[in-house]
Structure 1
Amino acid sequence: MTVKHNKANSLNIIDDLKGDQSWRIFRIISEFTEGFERLSGLDDAISFFGSARLKPDNAYYQQAVEIAELLSQHNFAIISGGGPGIMEAANKGAYHQKPPSIGLNIELPMEQKPNPYQNLSLDFRYFFVRKVMFVRYSMGYICMPGGFG
């Protein structure tokens, strides 16, 4: 088997990739900008991490609801990943309180949909930008069993 190398085609492919990478930088910057602008008014916030697969009848789900409700009664905004499971439980506990119940949703094909307990919802394409928003605007973290995606 012989592989022919065509320098002109290789350069075109490389140029195409460079162009795509340039635009990706602008998308990343726009996600940072939107996150900073929409979350800049937060005072005290707590982020919740945990399993997306826990159901409302699970003890950890119920604990997350209770903890989020108590924290929000003490004027802490609640930040979660905006999906199901522990994320939903945290948003649910904070939803009817004064500080906002915030969901930092990730856009993935065939993955989580935003839960209905968010007063403020942001959608992210990039995990690392989303993580920066969790860390930048939280003064504490509640880590329940499960993941921290």
Structure 2
Amino acid sequence: MTSQTPVTDAALARFADAVMSIAHRIEPRGLEIPGRRHLTPREVLVLHEVAVSPGITATRIARGLGLQRSNLSATLHGLEREGLLAQTAATVGRGVGFHLTDQAQGELALVRAHRTERLRSALPDVLRDVVDQADVLARLADSIGDLPE
């Protein structure tokens, strides 16, 4: 397929299905971190959003994850209460943003180690091919944009 050839809906659907399957195999039901309670899939996603965009507002987190802001509020407050998130000035717009605490950064390191371990169970030649595309996939994630409200 050349850069001029349009990508079919079927090819995009197949790609999206593969991404969802990979995500589920890496973290099927949230995450268990020794010495702390279970992190839910939503909490892991929120921590990830804040990690990649320090100072992000609750509205942008909700939009990026496709959640109602009111539904996200309890998750944010819980993560703050547990010392994983702290409020800061928003980096875009005005208002309150969030950043990870040192404790959260340590726990996200454990999350990344868990993900790495799960991925290492794949065939080495497949991993080499996929890892070479990590930058392209990150650009894809950035270019998809926010979900509609």
TM over 0.5: no
Larger Rg: 1
Q: Quick check: which one's strand share is greater?
A: 1
TM-score, length-normalised on structure 1? 0.29
